[in-house]
Amino acid sequence: MKEELKLAYEIFDSSEALQEEDKKLVEEARAITANAYAPYSNFFVGAAAILSNGQIIKGTNQENASYPVGTCAERVLLGTAAVMYRGMPIKTMAISYDNKNGESNHPISPCGMCRQALKEFEDRTGKPMRLILTGKTGKVIVLDKAVFLLPLSFGSSDLK
């Protein structure tokens, strides 16, 4: 038997086409790229999220001279959310970047490790997290749930 999985997402020509709250979040994600610590890759990533209580929090990538120690913007944000607002679901997270070595005109998508972390954040809060994927300019992708990016995923239920 063959199974097929479909990925549902929305795509917009630019952030101008987004609803107000999403547009604001994209602006915050783009602005916070300036606070990234990315002296090795020169790839400055910013994430901004709105929690279910309306609070906005942010994250940026934090690199290290010992390269594998570096952490992505998304996981920095998730850690902040879990510590500062324990148990609070994230409604929407916007992710943007500023590539100092090249273009920043297409959406980026979270790396595999971040997808796993995003999925578990959804599991532990019991709520889907919308994702908005952007660059400094250009098209914008919106997903209704982070787990859409990690089909057939591993999770805590597998450890039972």
Interface with ligand THU, residue 61, by CB under 6 A: yes
Residue 74 is a catalytic residue: yes
Reading phi first (left if > 0) and then psi (alpha if -120 to 50, else beta), residue 67 is in alpha
By the 8 A CB rule, do 55 and 47 touch?
Answer: no
The DSSP call for residue 158 is G
By the 8 A CB rule, do 130 and 92 touch?
Answer: yes
Taking the complex as a whole, the smallest distance from the CB of residue 15 to ligand THU amounts, in Å, to 17
Of 71-110, binders to ligand THU (CB under 6 A) are 72-74, 95, 108, 110
Interface with ligand THU, residue 38, by CB under 6 A: yes
Question: Which residue type, as a one-letter code, is found at position 160?
Answer: K
Please say which residue, 15 or 61, places its beta carbon nearer to ligand THU: 61
Taking the complex as a whole, the smallest distance from the CB of residue 40 to ligand THU amounts, in Å, to 7
Just list the catalytic residues: 74
